[in-house]
Structure 1
C-alpha cells in the first residue's frame, strides 16, 4: 500500500496549505511574526485555534501562556474565533485557583468535515468535528471491490441521507479522502491503488463535482501518521514512523523533524515495499520479497478460521487466540511467528534509515505487536544499528479504528487551521 502526499481538488488553497503537516500541533505565533498586520492576525488566530483543536479544552490563561500574547489580545482572538463559529467559550464548572476563573475555550460543535476511506470490502464515511471528535461513522460493505464510480455513488447517497442534518446543525468545510494507494500531490488524481485496481482516477474531482464540497486526498498511511501525531500515541513527537497493516496491504507514513515526508510528487514512504525476504514471492510492484507480500492479513484470517469478509474481526480474534500464550493453536503460532520475523526485518530497516524516536504500528500489525512486544523489541535491539536503535520505541496505534477517519478529516480542516478567517469563504462556496 503505497504512501503519498496530499492533493487537493477544486475550491481549495494551494497544496502546500493543505499539507497534513500543517495540521500538526502548531508552534504558537507571537505578535511580531508576519509581513504585515493581516499576516500577524492570521498567524495568531491560527495559533490559538490550533491549540484549542489539539488540546480539546483550553483555558484563556493557558492560551496566554502558550502563545506569549497578552490577555486582551487573546481575548480578542477568541472572540473572533467564536464569531467564526470555530470555537465555543464557557465558564469552568470548578476551579481551585484564587481569583476569577479563566473561561474555557473548546472546539466548536458546529464546524465539521466529512471523511472517506474506500477499501477492498467497504467504504467508510465519517462525520468529524474539530478536535478529532467523531460524530458519526457509517461503514458501507460492498460485495466486490468497489470501482471509483461506485465509491462516488456510495458517498453521494450517504451524504444525501445526512443532508438535512448537515444543513440544520453543522458547517461542513470539506471532505478528506484517505486512499490505500498513490495520490498525486498536485491535482488529487489517484495514480495507483494496486489492490483496488484503480489507475489514474480523478476521484477527488469526481467527489467534489458530485457533492459540491472541496475535496482533499492523501494516502491512508499519511493521514494515519498525522492523526496519531496530533491525537494519538505520537502526540508531540517530532520524528516518528507509522506502519499500518490492512486489507490493502501495508502502508507507511513518516514525520521527520515535525514535517510529513512527501517526496517530489507526494509518493514518499512506500514502506510496504521494503525488502524483507530475498527468497520471497513476487510482489505486484515487480520486486521480490516485499514486506506486504510476506506479512499479510489473509494468512492470519485463514489460521484464525475467519472468512475474508470478516477482516474487521481479525485484531480481536488474534488477541483472543493469545489470551493464554501457552495454549495457542500451532497453526496460528506458525503464521504469527513467520510474520513477526519479517516485520522485525522491516523495523530494522526503518530504524536504520529514518532514525525515528517512535514507531507506531496500526491495523493488524498493532495486534501482532501487542501479542508479542518482546519479539518486536528484541528484533530492533539486536539487528538495528547502534545509534539509531538507542532511543527508539515501538508502540501500538492509540486511535484504533478511528485513526483513518480522524486523519482524513484533518486534510479538510488543514486550510481552516492555517487561516481561520477563510472558513467564511469556504462555507460561501
Structure 2
C-alpha cells in the first residue's frame, strides 16, 4: 500500500468511526450511504474497528425489505481518560469513558501553588483515578491537564501562568515520565470552551465564546465550529484586557487588567473590607453566596463584579459577534447574583445588531467544563491515532 493509499484508509477509518460514534446504532449499509464509500470498504474498516474493540455489534435493526441489518455501536468502555482542571485554588480530576461520561472524580482545595507541591497533588489525584478505573481493553488512554496560563503550540511548555506564579514549566514531561501515558496540556479556557461545545450548553452553536471566570479570567473561542487558538496558540488571554488605564498592578506586569476587577480574586479582595460575621481567612465564594441571602453589602459587591464582567463581555461581543456567551468556572456558582448586572451592562453598551440573536448562558457543566474538555482532547488523540493494537495498558497501583 502506497503512502497516499494508507492516508486515505486512515481518513476513511476515522470517518467511519466518527459516524458510528455520533449516529449509533447504525448499520454498515447506512454508513456506506452516509459517507459515499463502497460497502466493501466500509465492511473492511468496520471489521478492523471490531477487532480493535472500538465498536461492537448489537441485535438486528429494522428491515427495509431484505435481511435485518446488524447494528453497530461505539464501545465507550474500551478505555478511559483522565482530565485535570488545575485551578488557582483547587485541582479537580475526572475519569471519563470514551464518550465523556464521568466514572470517578476527585477534588482538592489548595492554598499554595508552589510547583513541587502542586505536582505531588496532581499525581495523587491521577493515581486515585487510575486506581478507580474499571477493567477495559485499553485501560487509561491518557491524561489531559487544563492550565490557567499560556501554553506553547506543542503543549509541552507552560510559558506563563501568572496567577500560579509559574514560568517555563514542563508539566507534560514530568507527568509522562511518571506514568508512561500520553499527556495533553492546554489552556483551561480552551478546554472549558471545548467541554461546553461537546457536552454542555454550547452543543447547538457554531460560534460561541466561553468565559472562564475564576481567580483569573480566560476566554476560549469556538468559531465556525472550530477551537480558535491564534497564530501561536496564545489566544484568549482577555483577563489581561485593559479596562482601567491607570488601574491596579497585575501579576502579568501590566496595570488595569480586567481580571483585577471582575474575577473571584476581585470579589474576595473586596469582601475583606466589609464588616462580616466571619473571619477574613474563612471568606470564600461559597460563603459569600450564602451570606448574600441576607446581606445587602454583599449583594452590592456581586452587583459590582457583575457590572465589570459585563464591561469585558461587551467588548468581546462587539469584537466577535458570537451567537452565545457562556460564563463558566467558579463564578458560575453565583449566577443568580451576577446575571442581572451582566445583562444590564450588555444591553446598555453593546451594539444593538450584536444583541439580536445572542444568548447569554452560564456553563451547563458548572465547574466540570475544563476537566471534561481536556479529557475529550485526550480521547480524540487516542481515537485518531493508529495505536489501538500497540497501546499498552498501564500498570495500576
With the shorter chain as reference, the TM-score category is 0.7 to 0.9
Aligned residues: 384
Q: Is the 8 A contact 2:140 2:393 kept in 1?
A: no
SS at match of 2:298: helix
d(CA) in 2 for partners of 1:282 and 1:84?
Answer: 55
SS at match of 1:216: strand
Q: Is the 8 A contact 1:114 1:172 kept in 2?
A: yes
Which residue does the alignment assign to 2:312? Answer: 346
Which residue does the alignment assign to 2:100? Answer: 132
Which residue does the alignment assign to 2:384? Answer: 418
Q: Which of 202, 206, 212 is matched with 2:170 structurally?
A: 202
Q: Which of 222, 234, 243 is matched with 2:190 structurally?
A: 222
d(CA) in 2 for partners of 1:57 and 1:306?
Answer: 55
SS at match of 1:253: strand
Q: Which of 376, 380, 395 is matched with 2:346 structurally?
A: 380
Which residue does the alignment assign to 1:189? Answer: 157
Q: Is the 8 A contact 1:183 1:266 kept in 2?
A: yes
Q: Deviation of residue 197 (structure 1)?
A: 1.2
Q: Deviation of residue 39 (structure 1)?
A: 2.2
Q: Deviation of residue 298 (structure 1)?
A: 4.4
Pairing of 1:3-402 with structure 2 (within 5 A): 36-53=4-21, 55=22, 57-60=24-27, 63=31, 66-69=34-37, 73-91=41-59, 100=68, 103-142=71-110, 144-160=111-127, 166=133, 168-169=135-136, 170-186=138-154, 188-246=156-214, 248-278=215-245, 280-298=247-265, 300=267, 302=271, 313=286, 318=289, 329-371=295-337, 373-402=339-368
d(CA) in 2 for partners of 1:309 and 1:71?
Answer: 65
98-107 or 267-276: bigger deviation: 98-107
Q: Is the 8 A contact 1:300 1:336 kept in 2?
A: yes
Which residue does the alignment assign to 1:6? Answer: none
Q: Is the 8 A contact 1:56 1:107 kept in 2?
A: no
d(CA) in 2 for partners of 1:238 and 1:172?
Answer: 31
d(CA) in 2 for partners of 1:153 and 1:357?
Answer: 41
Bigger Rg over Cα: 2
SS at match of 1:424: coil
d(CA) in 2 for partners of 1:374 and 1:96?
Answer: 54
Q: Which of 406, 416, 421 is matched with 2:372 structurally?
A: 406
Q: Is the 8 A contact 2:152 2:233 kept in 1?
A: yes
Q: Is the 8 A contact 1:118 1:151 kept in 2?
A: no
d(CA) in 1 for partners of 2:325 and 2:19?
Answer: 25
d(CA) in 2 for partners of 1:362 and 1:308?
Answer: 25
SS at match of 1:135: strand
Q: Indicate how the Cα distance of structure 1 residues 358 and 70 shifts in structure 2: closer, same or farther if over 3 A, else same.
A: farther
Alignment deviations for residues 339-388 of structure 1 (CA, whole Å, 9 cap, x no partner): 11111111111011122111111024434544454544443333122433
Alignment deviations for residues 294-336 of structure 1 (CA, whole Å, 9 cap, x no partner): 012246454796976785746xx73x677xxxx7521122111
361-370 or 257-266: bigger deviation: 361-370
Q: Is the 8 A contact 1:294 1:342 kept in 2?
A: yes
Q: Is the 8 A contact 2:151 2:233 kept in 1?
A: yes
Q: Indicate how the Cα distance of structure 1 residues 149 and 41 shifts in structure 2: closer, same or farther if over 3 A, else same.
A: same
SS at match of 1:427: coil
Q: Deviation of residue 258 (structure 1)?
A: 2.5
Q: Is the 8 A contact 1:230 1:236 kept in 2?
A: no
Q: Indicate how the Cα distance of structure 1 residues 328 and 344 shifts in structure 2: closer, same or farther if over 3 A, else same.
A: farther
Alignment deviations for residues 142-188 of structure 1 (CA, whole Å, 9 cap, x no partner): 4x323333333334344445656659435222111111111112351
d(CA) in 2 for partners of 1:233 and 1:243?
Answer: 13
Q: Is the 8 A contact 1:291 1:346 kept in 2?
A: yes
Q: Indicate how the Cα distance of structure 1 residues 182 and 68 shifts in structure 2: closer, same or farther if over 3 A, else same.
A: same
Q: Is the 8 A contact 1:85 1:108 kept in 2?
A: no
Q: Deviation of residue 426 (structure 1)?
A: 4.3
SS at match of 2:382: helix
254-263 or 220-229: bigger deviation: 254-263
Q: Deviation of residue 227 (structure 1)?
A: 1.2
Q: Deviation of residue 201 (structure 1)?
A: 1.0
